[in-house]
Structures are given as structure tokens and as C-alpha cells.
């Protein structure tokens, strides 16, 4: 409980506890210890566990011109920091932006080379939106099929015929590659007589590499891993050993 220290005389030499000293200075115990550690306040050590501070020492501090430095400890309060307001004076960029794709969804200007129109050319953002393809994958398609491009409407544009043909070929190649290297869950169920849950558990148990099919709705299981795991499992299977004997 706080005490009325105003009644003490200037010559009062009594010793105060840490809590009483902090209350006298109207500061927290943490701030008081900071002043002690920096030599601003002298303490009296009565025992290894008992520390006192002379009232004269506190009066000397309050009467001096010393201003207590700010506490080095961060203050934890519930005040919300002000959010930085956007600079409304900045000139906005023309054309709508797709922030995820980091490219324009609509043309930024009407400037385009002669013969380049919206009927015959896709912008980069239009390709990504129409075919549901990400920038990195389209970059791969673009390099693979050497798609020519032009700078139009403030962005990169591609001839529609070239884009449609290249993406169709790419999708066909990806489908063939998956068929040759991967089993679908249905393939395994039909070939090995397993249930859907058994397929998943076997793959997880034996570390069969899995990837998502196009669209991300089904799993594809790497054939090489599946066959190797199946042969290994047959060697340790009780039913297989019984057949051999």
C-alpha cells in the first residue's frame, strides 16, 4: 500500500524497501532497478537478500536536475499503430492490374504496332486468364515453342494462333508423359485389385512418389516407385511365402 511520503522531513534518514522507493519516485520497479544499475541511485545492502534505499538518496535525486532516461525496456500497450496511408498524390498507373500475376489485365494504352489488334493477339495477362496457366509455366511454353511476341498496349502480346497451338501441344505432351511414367489411382485399383484407401496407404507406407494430376483433383503414382515397392512387399508378404512353400 502506498505511503504518504510528504510527511517525511528533509533530514529523515530512514531506509525504504524497493517497493517503497519506487512508489516514492512514482516509477515502476523495473525503472528503479535501471537507475540503480546505472549508478544513479546508491543502495544499502543489509544482507544478500535485503536491499534498502535511503530516503535522503531519493530526495537528492528528485532535487537534482537529473532527468531519468527512458526505460530501455519496450512498453507493451494496447495502442494500435497508425497504418501508413497510401500516397493519394501519386499518379495512378493506367490499366487494371492483376497483383498476383504482376502484369496488366487490360491495356494501359491504345498504342500497338500496325496490324496488331485485340482480335488477333493476346496480352500476357489474357493468356494466363484464358488458359488458367501461371506465368512460370507459360514462360516454359514460350521458350519451348519459340513464341514470337510484340510490345503492344504497354505490355507483351502474342498472336492467338501461336499461343493456342503451343499450349495444345504442350498439354498433349504432358498427358503422354504422365501416362507413360505414372499410374492413376484407377489404374492401380484395376491392375492390382486394391481399394482406393489401400492404394493411398501403400503409397504412404512405401514412399511412392506422388504428384497431382492436371487440375489438382487426383493423385498420380510414379510407376517405377510403385513397382519397386510392390516387389519388395511381395518378398516379405506372408501369403507370398506360403505360396512358395
Question: pLDDT value at position 243?
Answer: 47
Question: pLDDT value at position 169?
Answer: 85
Instruction: List the beta bridge partners of residue 50.
Output: 47
163 pLDDT above the threshold of 50: yes
Question: pLDDT value at position 127?
Answer: 92
Residues 168, 192, single domain; the answer is no
- Please tell me the pTM assigned to this model: 0.34
C-alpha cell recorded at residue 218: 487426383
204 in a domain, yes or no? yes
Contacts of 92 (CB under 8 A, 6+ apart): none
Question: pLDDT value at position 109?
Answer: 61
Question: pLDDT value at position 178?
Answer: 63
Question: pLDDT value at position 25?
Answer: 85
Q: What is the DSSP string of 126-192?
A: HHHHHHT--HHHHHHHHHHTT--EEEETTEEEEEHHHHHHHHHHHHHHHHHHHHHHEEEHHHHHHHH
Residues 170, 219, single domain; the answer is no
pLDDT tens sequence across 221-235: 888 888 889 888 888
Query: Domain of 198?
Result: 180-244
Residues 199, 218, single domain; the answer is yes
In whole angstroms, give the CA distance from residue 42 to residue 34: 12
Residues 156, 186, single domain; the answer is no
The mean pLDDT of the chain is 75
pLDDT band at 84 (very low <50, low <70, confident <90, very high): low
Residues 202, 164, single domain; the answer is no
Instruction: List the beta bridge partners of residue 157.
Output: 123, 150
84 in a domain, yes or no? no
Amino acid at each position: 500500500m502506498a505511503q504518504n511520503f510528504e510527511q517525511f522531513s528533509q533530514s529523515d534518514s530512514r531506509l525504504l524497501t524497493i517497493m517503497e522507493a519506487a512508489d516514492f519516485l512514482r516509477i515502476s520497479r523495473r525503472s528503479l532497478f535501471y537507475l540503480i544499475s546505472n549508478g544513479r541511485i546508491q543502495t544499502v545492502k543489509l544482507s544478500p537478500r535485503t536491499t534498502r534505499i535511503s530516503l535522503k538518496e531519493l530526495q537528492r535525486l528528485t532535487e537534482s536536475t537529473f532527468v531519468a532516461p527512458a526505460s530501455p525496456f519496450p512498453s507493451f500497450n494496447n495502442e494500435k499503430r497508425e497504418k501508413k496511408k497510401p500516397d493519394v498524390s501519386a499518379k495512378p498507373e493506367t490499366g487494371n492490374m492483376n497483383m498476383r500475376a504482376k502484369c496488366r489485365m487490360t491495356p494501359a494504352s491504345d498504342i500497338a504496332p500496325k496490324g496488331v489488334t485485340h482480335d488477333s493477339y493476346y496480352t500476357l495477362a489474357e493468356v494466363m486468364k484464358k488458359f488458367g496457366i501461371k506465368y512460370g509455366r507459360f514462360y516454359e511454353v514460350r521458350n519451348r515453342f519459340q513464341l514470337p511476341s510484340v510490345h503492344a498496349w504497354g505490355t507483351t502480346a502474342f498472336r492467338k494462333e501461336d499461343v493456342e497451338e503451343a499450349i495444345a501441344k504442350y498439354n498433349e505432351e504432358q498427358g503422354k508423359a504422365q501416362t507413360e511414367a505414372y499410374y492413376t489411382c484407377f489404374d492401380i485399383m484395376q491392375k492390382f485389385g486394391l481399394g482406393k484407401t489401400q492404394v493411398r496407404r501403400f503409397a504412404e507406407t512405401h514412399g511412392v512418389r506422388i504428384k497431382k494430376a492436371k487440375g489438382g483433383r487426383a493423385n498420380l503414382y510414379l510407376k517405377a516407385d510403385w513397382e519397386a515397392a510392390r516387389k519388395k512387399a511381395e518378398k516379405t508378404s506372408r501369403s507370398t511365402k506360403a505360396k512358395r512353400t
